[in-house]
Chain A
Amino acid sequence: MVTHDSGAGHAHQAPTGFLWKYIFSKDHKVIGIQYILLALFSVFLGMALSILMRIHLAWPALKLPFFENGAISPEQYLALLTMHGSIMVFMVLTTAPQSGFGNYFLPIQIGAADMAFPTLNMLSFWTTFVSLCVVTAAFFVPEGAPIGGWTAYPPLSGIGKVAGPGQGPGMTLWIVGVAIFCGASLMGALNFITTVIDLRAKGMSLLRMPLTVWAWFITAILGLLAFGVLLAACILLLLDRSLGTSFFVPVGLVVSDTIINHKGGSPLLWQHLFWFFGHPEVYIAILPGMGVASHLLSTFARKPVFGYRAMVYALCGIGFLGFCVWGHHMFVSGMSPYSAFAFSLLTMSIGVPSAIKTFNWIGTLWDSKIQFTTAMLFALGFVSLFVTGGLSGLFLAQPTIDLYFHDGYFVVAHFHLIMGVAAIFGMFGALFFWFPKMFGKFLNEGLGKIHFWFTFIGVYAIFMPMHWLGLLGINRRYSAFEAYSPSVRAQIAPIQTFITVAAVITIAAQLLFLYNFVWSLWKGKKCAGDNPWNATTLEWSIPTPPPFDNFAGDEPVVYRGAYEFSVPDAPEDYAPQHVAPAELGKYYLDLAADRLKGFTSKVAESRAKLSEKN
């Protein structure tokens, strides 16, 4: 890469001073890292909440710190459950894959100097930060966090503290926090889409974009269309709670012997608005993971993505259908049975683009040359989890079968596998892959592999048994099963204990990852070249770590698709996007020369060592 100083009058100037460089930075790379750190904090918080729930389910008598009498009360259990879901969905699955990695790598991968609107980008992060603070503050108000689940169905969420502990100030904070989050996500989505539309480098046609960029692009479109709806719903719910309107709360409710003073609202209206957002939200969480998986599979299989166009069309198809299927969350809600049938067929057809993606991933691996880096292992794990989690969707998409599984453990297994764990695997893959570019050092591969084995086996051990709990017809969101008959309890107790043990081990393994992350930042193996994985996309054409001005004021030109691996008769098994066809020969010669230089210097080194010894 030729560095070129464009001289005075450059619009893109590096900021000075700690505050502007690292805190209120407008640099998309810094903001990306900020998002990743926010998600990292949130994911460990969310995991801590989940392990408390798991321990309570398996060993309710166990004395726990931070709790009165060492025991988790039913309302505390529900508060843990609500906050676990909210934090994981909003602060982890929406921020890390899209705002975190997307912010850092989308502009670089399309050859842009930054996002389209850097100031908006900074605002978007800090708004998200405020939202996280507001939502978690719900723990610290009188009566604690809300107990209505992350879906916050009214009337439970709409009538204040009379509905139960945590439904007072805690619920209000939750709604306000989520509304703020909507604003942040809208700003981010607008920025992402504009960047992709207007800031692509010369030659970066839509069908040459890496699939990661496609995934971030479609995700941003989903976010732009979905979050406004949730914002509107949150405002109406807040009005119901604070100004006594009756959008969602119906007439004649008697709660705790109090006649609630509302008229004629519709609880189903909230469900429609919420799931119109909520279903696309699922794809907001998983699409970036799909993009990353495609990217990593191709790179480490040294083979072009099988059916690149089909992959792009499938992404668009999933994105479009994602807006037509929200009703499948409402099969038992009392919605019109005719629309339920229509929603069911649309949902079943979403399986088609998902299957296309799966088959193309396996097609990419066929006749390839797989290199088992940790990043690749996570990408392979993603495919396996995506298949397992996706197929249980076939059952839930059919209203007849959903009548049995709805609000049971089968659903818990389904969505954790597909939108929770698979998406997290995508993020782990992304982190192991891009860490050297971001920080100039590798994450430790050995530790990474151990972490992978524990996590891969662990998540299956946690979530597969939940399918069988679902088959037994066990309801979710129960803090205890004491009301069930002894025979049912005897059936489920061993499964619950097994899941909890698996969860404890898996979460312990995540500490290994945290250690790896911190240790590698300080002492990780240095990344010598700019392209350690012999990858093709633009981020590997710039220095490591990237300078403030990604392409040093130069605009890269793109000459080919993103996945030109193992082109026949080429001396190397990859052809970078930014090298002109006429210069490719020279590029390969330079590579060979570099390698020779490295080799001779190594020989000289060892010879010197030998002579020293002698």
Chain B
Amino acid sequence: MLRRRACAGSTAVALILSLLLVLLVAITVYLFVAKAYWFPVSITEFGDKVDIQFHRTLIIAGIVFVLSQLGLAYAIFRFRDRGQKAKYVEGNNTMEAVWTIATLVMFVGLGILARSAWADVHFRDPAPGAMKIEVIGQQFQWSFRFPGADGVFGRYKTVEKALAERAHGDQSASPWQLDATDAAGKDDIVLGAGSELVIPVNREVELWIRSQDVTHSFFVRELRLKQDAVPGLLIKVHFTATQTGTYEMPCAELCGLGHYRMHTNLKILPQDQFDKWMAEEVAANAQ
């Protein structure tokens, strides 16, 4: 009884479901091929490598996606119940072996190909002359510090010292203030909370990423780089930007109620303009 009815209605249902799957494939492929929504331009060599790896992955995932969805759509329509008898097949070991090995080679191969770009940022140390900048996250702003002419960051106050100062009435004392007794800190240029990160173009930069309170995340889309700022840890990343411009820097790790507005800009300047900017900051710092 029930079987009769399922059979009678099956052509329309099969057709609609198959067409929907075809439509899904068509729209998805179109949006990826037309690049209707796409990455912002990459401004580092590393970013270019990421984009290449993304394309490789997209091609492989795309082939599997199209074949599986269309295969499914075809099977749904072709083998709908038209009163035929299903074929008694329990499987095919050759086919199992083929697609196991094929996917293993494809997927793991892809993973190995991704190694070189990853190694660039994480396995290789920056060149000796790289410009060091400290990036500090706090609820809900970023602040930055340049080591100044000596190229060495000054020490922070110890927690004990900050607590002692607070006990003596200085309620603003914090273990994130420079220790005045450290000479290396004298020429440090601190850009307080809410500043923009300014760097020169075509010069390797090494960011020292820290957090004062909870976990934040440094992210600039055009750099294709994201790194959590983890309290208690000092994490270093390095890159060389090859294009000037202003790029957005939104916090990428949930850090509390103001997470959505923890946002600043990365400003990449030509060397001469950067030098000028730096000279102004040094002057302001000296006052």
A interface with B by C-beta (< 8 Å): 73-75, 78, 147-149, 153, 155-156, 163-165, 250-257, 259-260, 264-268, 301-310, 332-334, 337-338, 340-341, 344-345, 347-349, 351-352, 355-356, 358-360, 362-363, 365-373, 377, 380, 383-384, 387-388, 391-392, 394-395, 397-401, 403-404, 406-408, 449, 453, 456-457, 460, 464, 468-469, 471-473, 475, 477-485, 488, 491, 495, 532-534, 565-568, 573
Contacts and interface: CB of A to CB of B under 8 A. Distances in A.
Contacts of A265: 232
Contacts of B228: 332-334
A403 B224 contact: yes
Contact of A483 (B13, B27, B224, B250): B250
Contacts of B90: 304, 306-308
B276 interface: no
Contact of B260 (A392, A400, A456, A481): A481
A413 to B, nearest CB: 12
Interface string B114-136: 11011001110000000000000
19 contacts: A74-B259, A78-B256, A337-B123, A344-B114, A345-B108, A345-B111, A352-B100, A356-B100, A365-B72, A366-B89, A368-B87, A380-B76, A398-B111, A399-B114, A403-B227, A464-B28, A483-B262, A565-B86, A567-B88
Given A268-B230, A473-B40, A307 B76 contact: no
Most buried by A among B24, B76, B123: B76
A394 B232 contact: no
A433 B190 CA distance: 66
Given A153-B215, A156-B214, A400 B39 contact: no
A163 B79 contact: no
B38 to A, nearest CB: 6
B155 interface: no
A352 B107 contact: yes
Given A260-B213, A338-B123, A348-B108, 12 more contacts: A148-B254, A259-B166, A307-B95, A334-B227, A345-B112, A349-B107, A370-B79, A370-B80, A371-B10, A384-B24, A388-B69, A400-B53
Contacts of B252: 332, 406-408, 475
A449 B17 CA distance: 11
Given A344-B111, A356-B96, A460 B230 contact: no
Given A368-B79, A370-B10, A394-B60, A251 B253 contact: no
Interface residues of B, number: 111
Given A372-B13, A394-B60, A380 B72 contact: yes
Nearest to B212: A254
A337 B232 contact: no
A399 B14 CA distance: 40
Nearest to B73: A384
Contacts of B95: 307, 359, 363
B221 to A, nearest CB: 4
Interface in B69-114: 69, 71-72, 75-76, 79-82, 84-92, 95-96, 99-100, 103-104, 107-108, 110-112, 114
Given A334-B230, A356-B100, A403 B40 contact: no
A96 to B, nearest CB: 25
A359 B16 CA distance: 22
